[in-house]
Amino acid sequence: METVEVIIIGSGPAGYAAALYAARAQLKPLVLAGEKGGGQLMLTTQVENYPGFKDGVMGPDLMAVMRQQAEKFGAVMKDQNVDKVDFSRQPLTVVSGEIEYQGEAVILTTGAESIPLGVPGESDYIGRGVSYCAVCDAPFFKDKRVVVVGGGDAAVEDTLALTKFTAKISLIHRRDQFRASKIMQARVLGQKDKVEVLWESQVVKVTGDEKHVTSVTVKNIKTGQVQEIPAQGLFVAIGHRPATEFLKGQVALDEKDYVKTSINYPEGQSWLKGYPTMTSVPGVFAGGDNVDFRYRQAVTAAGMGVMAALDAEKWLEGL
């Protein structure tokens, strides 16, 4: 058993930023980085909206530097997954395989995963036409034709964001009406010159020329009719899954399994005031995409990681 002051679980922008701040505060944080360290940006190529890089930066390069920066100040990284936690008493217990760690504070930065379509070709072209983040990638598709998949607010918002850049958008939805709010629906349906909606349809294949996406094949669920849409981009907006399965029953989660803090649920939190990133358990903090269903950006995740580290530091001082 190893006992430390702060344990950080997860190693995306939120985890590394939390580690940097906790390390500079002399808390010698232990980062259980997961077997797939670096988080979602490891899946992408060019990141153009992380401040400080005027020519952009490759996602994996950014994550490697973030890790080195936190290590330089004393953060200890272990590339292990956390399987379970016991937050019922202090010190807080975190278990990875056979190894048990104890910490006075724990910071949860386990992120989220975009739900993929799971169709042939999709995973081959991530970052080369296939995107899960319109805010991040829309400017790469100037005057191009793209396909968007989904029917909720995210898909409709992504489509609207893309209309500013792209030549034409095919919005694919498997039902005959959207789940998105009426006002957003009206906005997207009003863009008739740019947006065509293919109802009751699903994407069945993504095709490319090895370098980029060249077409997206769509099937009508009712008629069975198949069409190949020439397109350079596929934006998948069918939802996110926060990596919080192992936290069930340990901290309060919302109905979609996001960790509740008073940042994402400012009303009605009865737990300790003055610690915006604290979860329902004293001493357990959270930040990044496992909390954030709204912004989902690397820089906002890093910012929340920093907030969680500062809150943990203040909380530890008060112990």
Ligand X SMILES: Cc1cc2nc3c(=O)[nH]c(=O)nc-3n(C[C@H](O)[C@H](O)[C@H](O)COP(=O)(O)OP(=O)(O)OC[C@H]3O[C@@H](n4cnc5c(N)ncnc54)[C@H](O)[C@@H]3O)c2cc1C
Strands (E), 69-166: 76-78, 84-86, 92-96, 99-108, 112-114, 130-131, 145-149
Distance CA 184, CA 101 (A): 47
Give yes or no for residue 213 binding ligand X (CB under 6 A). no
Q: How far is the CB of 274 from ligand X (least distance, A)?
A: 23
Residue from 4, 19, 25, 38 in contact with ligand X (CB under 6 A): 38
Q: How far is the CB of 122 from ligand X (least distance, A)?
A: 11
* Paired residues of 77 in beta bridges: 31
Give yes or no for residue 162 binding ligand X (CB under 6 A). no
Check if the beta carbon of residue 167 is closer than 8 Å to that of residue 144.
yes
Give yes or no for residue 242 binding ligand X (CB under 6 A). no
Q: Indicate the residue whose CB is closest to ligand X.
A: 111
What is the per-residue binding string for ligand X in 47-86, x denoting contact by CB under 6 A? x-xx------------------------------xx----
Measured from the CB atom, the residue of 197 and 302 that comes closer to ligand X is 302
- The percent helix, strand, coil of the chain (3-state, each to 5) is 25, 30, 45
Which residues lie below 8 Å from residue 35, measured CB to CB, with a gap of 6+?
A: 79, 80, 81
Distances (CA, A) of 28 to 22, 59, 93, 110, 185: 7, 26, 17, 19, 49
Q: How far is the CB of 26 from ligand X (least distance, A)?
A: 23
Q: How far is the CB of 193 from ligand X (least distance, A)?
A: 28
Q: How far is the CB of 289 from ligand X (least distance, A)?
A: 4
Give yes or no for residue 301 binding ligand X (CB under 6 A). yes
Active-site annotation, residues: 133, 136-137
Distance CA 12, CA 161 (A): 25
DSSP assignment letter at 120? T
Cα-only R_g, the chain: 21
Give yes or no for residue 32 binding ligand X (CB under 6 A). yes
Give yes or no for residue 279 binding ligand X (CB under 6 A). no
- CA geometry: angle at 240 spanning 236 and 243, to 5°? 140
Give yes or no for residue 310 binding ligand X (CB under 6 A). no
Give yes or no for residue 92 binding ligand X (CB under 6 A). no
Measured from the CB atom, the residue of 222 and 241 that comes closer to ligand X is 241
Give yes or no for residue 11 binding ligand X (CB under 6 A). yes
- CA geometry: angle at 150 spanning 145 and 156, to 5°? 75
Which range touches ligand X (CB under 6 A), out of 143-151, 164-172, 263-271, 298-306?
298-306
Q: Which residues bind ligand X (CB under 6 A)?
A: 9-15, 32, 34, 36-41, 43-44, 47, 49-50, 81-82, 109-112, 114, 126-127, 132-133, 136, 243, 246, 288-289, 296-299, 301
